[in-house]
Amino acid sequence: MLSAGQDVVILIASLAAALLYMTLLNRLWPVEKRSVNNDLIGWQLTIIGTTYAVILGFMLYTVWTAYGAAQLNSDLEANALRNVYALAPGLPEPQRTQLRQEARAYAETVVSRDWPEMARGEIPEGSHAISQEMLHTAQAITVNSPTSAVYLDHIFSSLVTLSEHRRTRVLQTVYKLPAIFWAVLIVGAIVTIASAATFGARTPLLHAFQVTSFTLLVTLVLLAIGDVNLPFQGWVHVDNYAFIRARAFMSD
């Protein structure tokens, strides 16, 4: 995904392209000749602008919702891991110590391997292997008291929850807007900004300010959609703070 520097470059390039288009249009089709069509151009701009604003807002809401869901899912995964670690003392040895060691290894793997791999668009596999080891460890436990049976039941529940959230995280790693949606967004932006530049304003500076402001707003929203489209990549991404806290919690 794009970095913050690339976002700035795209923003500047978009503003420059819009102003260049307006300048060329003014030379090829003078304002005096366009102004007689302002009623038609204004009507067209209103329809196109309103339609595009709805599309843009819906797309931004969609990717932001997916981004928030990815952050929440990661937090819940880390919480399930902490539950496994906290419940392990209620089990008999040697599985008690082994399960806690595996929980520590899981947190360390997620922080040091999974997140960098997801940032590169790769599917993380290290934590999956450890989660299977934790499940096998729990399955090998022979309970010797009703209390241990209750602890084991809760641990199995936490391990299932952990696996579910991990699988969801993997799916969210590869989620992105379909190409057809990007085509709609980009073509819509070009048509809308071009319509704004076509308006025959008699004050060139005011018209330039309006086109610049319009282009700035549209480009910023498109960049925001692009930055959160892949929730684990780019300079705006889901953080691993919950797993860092879980690792600190399990460091005793």
For the stretch 151-207, pLDDT in tens is 999 999 999 999 999 999 999 998 888 999 999 999 999 999 998 888 877 788 888
Instruction: Tell me the H-state helices in 88-174.
Output: 95-109, 115-119, 126-139, 146-174
What pLDDT does 102 receive?
95
Share of the chain above pLDDT 70, in %: 98
Instruction: Please give the average per-residue pLDDT across 207-218, as a whole number.
Output: 92
Which of 15-29, 62-76, 217-231 is predicted with the least confidence, judged by mean pLDDT?
A: 15-29
> Range of 141's domain?
4-249
CA distance 73 to 164: 10
CA distance 88 to 77: 17
The winner for highest mean pLDDT among 23-27, 44-48, 106-110, 147-151 is 106-110
CA distance 230 to 118: 10
At residue 42 the predicted structure's pLDDT band, cuts being 50, 70 and 90, is: confident
CA distance 4 to 23: 29
Query: How many domains are contained in the chain?
Result: 1
More confident residue, 201 or 113: 113
Is pLDDT at 112 greater than 80 in this prediction?
yes
With tokens 């102004």, the residue in question is: 35
**Average pLDDT of the chain?**
91
Query: Which is nearest to 250 in space by CA: 74, 81, 111?
Result: 81
At residue 33 the predicted structure's pLDDT band, cuts being 50, 70 and 90, is: confident
More confident residue, 216 or 46: 216
Give the rounded distance of the alpha carbon of 243 from its chain centre: 18
At residue 2 the predicted structure's pLDDT band, cuts being 50, 70 and 90, is: confident
DSSP 8-state class, residue 121: T
Instruction: Please give the average per-residue pLDDT across 21-46, as a whole number.
Output: 80
What pLDDT does 221 receive?
96
What pLDDT does 252 receive?
67
